[in-house]
Structure 1
Amino acid sequence: MILFRYLTREVLLTMSAVAGVLLLVIMGGRFIRYFADVAEGEFPVTVLGNLMLFHLPGFMELVLPLAFFLGILLAYGQLYMNSEITVMVACGISPMRLLQITLLPCAVVAVLVGICSLWLAPWGSMATEGIIQEQRSRLDASVLTPGRFQDFGAGRTAYITGFSDDGRQMQNVFVHELGSRGDDLPNYVTRAEQGYQQVRDETGSRFLVLEDGDRFSVVPGDLQAEHLAFERYTIRLGESKTLSASDEAEFQPTKALWRSEAPGAKAQWQWRMGVPLMVFVLALIAQPLSRVNPRQGRFAKLLPAVFLYVAYLSLLLAAVDAVGSGSLPAAIGVWPVHAAFFALGLALVWRLQRKGMR
């Protein structure tokens, strides 16, 4: 029991450190990407925290298997470096016994990965897509930056010089709208002294209300333009509503994927079910690879192990794409990839058991 607690603590602590570093790198890259979108006016900075939170289960789904794989390599490699494995062998601890001890933390990590893969990651992807689509479907004054031309979708570009003291009124508003069906339709240029947003509670529709301005209708290539002077002009921006369930397999719940006969749904289901299984396969491979010579250092086999993980994940993603495109039957699916690396892990464990842990 003491040995079990010791090994489990070493593996989980190393895994936590590796997972923290990987999450910091991945989330940092995504944060920079979203922050650039905020700077461009794609959505307000207030939704940035929610977007990162909803992305977290998807990140954990990919980070935890790799972190556990590297955790076993580094933790057991350190045991070899300190000759602690030699003491365990002298006490009668075989490689199979060491593998049995490793399986319990492996099961805990697999359950966490399964929760993320089967439930949390699809929910987070759907929530993220809903936020992004809602922000792109409407012009929000909170994302307007005075003195900049900003694109808000649907062929609209807006420019303002500033806000009123209470932040509700936009000053010197300029809006350019492209024709929606090619060059034969006019483009509209609207200028107003001030403007504000308005939401109709009964319909949820959003409007940009402009006051004291002019509107010009221009057909590209035509030297004439229509001019309209107004005291009040309203432009419909879109509807503020929650995004309905998407037809894409990535956003569907796992139960719906199981019932669907579409190749994309079957591919996505096999991916979600295969990620927890990958944790056990990686643990089976990691234990034999962690055996190092003390004179080589515990990082001697880290690079080959990473290459092996990359090959595993690349083949798995290729199989998922093949099933989704229909070029690979769903009955075969991704399971041969798991079986091949599982057989490789068994071969490595058998070889280690045969040679002993001298």
Structure 2
Amino acid sequence: MLIKEVLKTLLVIISVLLLLILTNAMVRLLGQVAEGAISMKVMGVLVGLNVIKLTGFILPPAFFFSVLWVLGRMYRDSEMLALSGAGVGLARLYRIFFLAAVPLALLVAALVLQVYPQARAYADVLQLQEKKQFRIGGLKPGAFNEFNKGRFMIYVGSSNEAGGGLRDVFVRYIQDGESGILVASKAVLKTVENAPGQFLILEDGHRYQGQPGKTDFSVASFERYGIRLPEVVTDSLSLSENALPTSVLLASDDLEFKAELQRRLSAPLSVFALMLLSVPLARSLPRQGVYGRLMLAVVIYALYMNLIQLAEKWMSHGVTPEWLGVWWVPGMTALLALLIARLDMIAYSPAWRRWKERRS
């Protein structure tokens, strides 16, 4: 019954968090699509990437708050008092939640260690290929679009990616050491059979060739004029640390790579550390509040996540020894859970209550 209730609450929390965070990400990505910075295909990949990333790193805190919420409600309704009277103690609760934590930790490990790095690398490659493609959607109307460090510049009054047309086009180019200017009322992007690259076909315009002020400057009118677009020069692909395979991080002696590996391993460890902490934090007497120490749990979780980030930075910069890594944060959280559980056993014991009554 406890596992069923926790998993139901877990699904609700994950769904709400994913909806809120992905809505914000979708608005940002749709803005980039409208600007022509990325295509709809890249947007779909980035949305899927965010889902994988968020699921892997949201599951530990979602499980933490699920256990806290369910047990807090049961303490409020005195159900835990009935279970305690039937012999269900702290060890029994931990054994039940451990059965739920194991598959969740394995899922988090698979997402963080294997699935997300592969998806991140695929997204990086796709974005690099996108940058190399000269697309109408990548041209910002009403602005100068510069390519290849200024060797090719195009101004577009308006564009229609669906129809493949450009209006009020101005092109400045440098080919074979000579500069030229093309002005046309409209233009289209086309590919020519047996010819590499794309061609910009301009219609009803003028061509200005040569250096202004010199005698070899020429002016000509045309009905149709084609110019081959240059290959877009981009930086070589360099995978970020979070896109590197876990096997590469394991084989590396670089301190930053080791810190990244520790950060990934901290995700499945957090499932168990936060689960250990949630059980004593949820404990309360029927008159002590609706959901026990929920606010305290929020503060502790915020400190926990900040400590994880600090531990990774400290390790990568050599502030903390390599053997300490990041694992000490989940370890310290587990010790805190045992300390709170021990203090609760003393505080809720009949002998302690009788002593407090005599003191009062």
Deviations for 1:240-298, whole angstroms, at most 9, x for unmatched residues? Answer: 9xx98634321110011100111221111111111100110000011100112333433
Q: CA deviation at 1:126?
A: 1.6
Q: Is the 8 A contact 1:86 1:357 kept in 2?
A: no
User: 1:12 aligns to what?
Assistant: 7
Identity of aligned residues (%): 26
Q: Which residue of 2 aligns with 1:149?
A: 143
Q: CA deviation at 1:352?
A: 3.4
Q: Which runs of 5+ in 2 are unaligned?
A: 351-360
1:211 to 202, 226, 250: 202
Which blocks of at least 5 consecutive residues in structure 1 are unaligned?
1-5, 179-184
**SS state of the match for residue 232, structure 2?**
strand
Residue in 2 that maps onto 1:86: 81
Instruction: Name the counterpart of 2:62.
Output: 67
Alignment match of 2:268 (pick from 270, 273, 276): 276
Distance in 2 (CA, whole Å) between partners of 1:305 and 1:188 is 67
The structure 2 residue matched to 1:321, chosen from 313, 317, 329, is 313
| TM-score normalised to structure 1 length | 0.82
RMSD of Structure 2 on Structure 1 (CA) = 3.5
Residues 135-159 of structure 1, C-alpha deviations (whole Å, 9 max, x = no match): 23332124557x5437576565541
Q: Which residue of 1 aligns with 2:94?
A: 99
> How far is 1:236 from its partner?
1.0
Distance in 2 separating the partners of 1:218 and 1:267: 56
Structure 1's 234 and 356: CA in aligned 2 closer, same or farther, altered over 3 A? same
Question: Bigger shift: 247-256 or 324-333?
Answer: 324-333
Alignment of 1:44 with 2:42, yes or no, is no
SS, match of residue 42 in structure 1: coil
Match among 234, 243, 247 for residue 228 of structure 2: 234
Paired amino acid for 2:270? M
- 1:181 matched residue in structure 2: none
Question: Residue 35 of structure 1 aligns with which residue?
Answer: 30
How far residue 189 of structure 1 moved from its aligned partner, in angstroms, is: 5.4
Q: What residue number does 1:331 align with?
A: 323
Further displaced range: 89-98 or 337-346: 337-346
Structure 2 counterpart of 1:263, from 255, 259, 274? 255
Question: Which secondary structure state, in structure 2, belongs to the residue aligned with residue 197 of structure 1?
Answer: strand
TM-score normalised to the size of structure 2? Answer: 0.81
- Cα 1:233/1:280, change in 2 over 3 Å: same
Distance in 1 (CA, whole Å) between partners of 2:300 and 2:129 is: 41
- Change beyond 3 A, Cα 1:350–1:209: same
Asked if 2 retains the 8 angstrom alpha-carbon contact of 1:74 and 1:298, the reply is no
Larger Rg: 2
CA contact (8 A) 1:95 1:352 kept: no
Shift of the 37–80 alpha-carbon distance from structure 1 to 2, 3 Å rule, reads same
* Residue matched to 1:309: 301
Q: Which residue of 2 is the match for residue 112 of structure 1?
A: 107
Inter-CA distance 318–196: structure 2 relative to 1 (3 Å threshold) = same
What secondary structure sits across from 1:238 in the alignment? coil
Aligned AA (2:232): G
**What is the aligned length?**
340
Letter in structure 1 aligned against 2:135: D
Q: Residue 236 of structure 1 aligns to a residue in which SS? A: coil
Distance 1:338 1:217 in 2: 68
**Letter of the aligned partner of 2:260 in structure 1?**
Q
Indicate the SS of the match to 1:161.
Answer: strand
What is the 5 A alignment of 1:153-232? 154=148, 156=153, 158-163=155-160, 167-175=163-171, 190-198=182-190, 206-212=197-203, 213-214=205-206, 229=220, 231-232=225-226
The letter for the 2-side match of 1:53 is G
Q: CA deviation at 1:194?
A: 4.1
Distance 1:194 1:63, change over 3 A: same
**Amino acid across the alignment from 1:275:** A
SS of 2:344's partner is helix
